[in-house]
Amino acid sequence: MDEFDFINKVKPTRNFSKQVMVGIGDDAAVYQPTNSYNQVVCVDTMVEGVHFLKNLSSPQDIGYKALAVNISDIAAMGALPLYYLVSIAIPSTWTEDELIQIYEGMEELSSTYKMDLIGGDTVSTSDKLVITVTVIGEAESHVQTLRNKAEDRDIVFVTGTIGDSSAGLSILLEEIENIHPTIQNYLVNRHKRPIAQVEAGQIIAELERASLNDISDGLASELNELVEASKLGMIINEEHIPVSKELRSMQDVYDIKKWILYGGEDFELVGTTSEREWDKLKQACTDRNITITKIGVVTNQHHNVLLKNRNGQMIQLKKSGYNHFNNK
Ligand X SMILES: Cc1ncc(C[n+]2csc(CCOP(=O)(O)O)c2C)c(N)n1
Ligand Y SMILES: Nc1ncnc2c1ncn2[C@@H]1O[C@H](COP(=O)(O)OP(=O)(O)OP(=O)(O)O)[C@@H](O)[C@H]1O
How many of the chain's residues bind Mg ion (CB under 5 A)?
4
**Residue 73 sits in the site that holds Mg ion (CB under 5 A):** yes
Q: Binding to ligand Y (CB under 6 A): which residues in 190-219? A: 216-217
Q: Binding to ligand X (CB under 6 A): which residues in 72-91? A: none
Answer whether 66's CB lies under 8 Å from 73's CB.
Answer: no
The letter for the amino acid at 179 is I
Cα–Cα distance, 213 to 18 (Å, whole number): 31
**Residue 44 sits in the site that holds Mg ion (CB under 5 A):** yes
Q: Does residue 140 have a known ligand-binding role?
A: no
**Residue 264 sits in the site that holds ligand X (CB under 6 A):** yes
**Residue 170 sits in the site that holds ligand Y (CB under 6 A):** no
Bridge-based pairing state of the strands 210-214 and 80-90:
unpaired
Q: Of the two residues 62 and 99, which places its CB atom closer to ligand Y in the complex?
A: 62
**Residue 216 sits in the site that holds ligand X (CB under 6 A):** yes
CB of 117 to Mg ion, least distance (A): 19
**Residue 216 sits in the site that holds Mg ion (CB under 5 A):** yes
Selected from 42, 44, 59, 250, the binder of ligand X by CB under 6 A is: 44
CB of 20 to ligand Y, least distance (A): 24
Task: List the one residue out of 119, 123, 124 whose CA is nearest residue 26.
Answer: 119
What does each C-alpha distance from 259 to 214, 298, 322 come to in angstroms?
Answer: 16, 23, 11
Task: Tell me the residue ranges of DSSP E strands in the chain.
Answer: 20-22, 30-31, 37-47, 80-90, 116-124, 130-140, 155-159, 210-214, 233-237, 269-273, 292-299, 305-308, 314-316
Binding mask 196-215 for Mg ion (x = CB under 5 A): ------------------x-
**Residue 52 sits in the site that holds ligand X (CB under 6 A):** yes
Length of the chain: 328
Bridge-based pairing state of the strands 233-237 and 155-159:
unpaired
Q: Does residue 302 have a known ligand-binding role?
A: no
**Residue 73 sits in the site that holds ligand Y (CB under 6 A):** yes
Answer whether 306's CB lies under 8 Å from 237's CB.
Answer: no
**Residue 239 DSSP label:** G
Selected from 23, 29, 40, 44, the binder of ligand Y by CB under 6 A is: 44
Secondary structure of the chain: what % helix, strand, coil (to 5)? 35, 25, 40
**Residue 214 sits in the site that holds ligand X (CB under 6 A):** no
Q: Does residue 164 have a known ligand-binding role?
A: no
**Residue 66 sits in the site that holds ligand X (CB under 6 A):** no
Positions in the binding site for ligand Y (CB under 6 A)? 44, 69, 73, 216-217
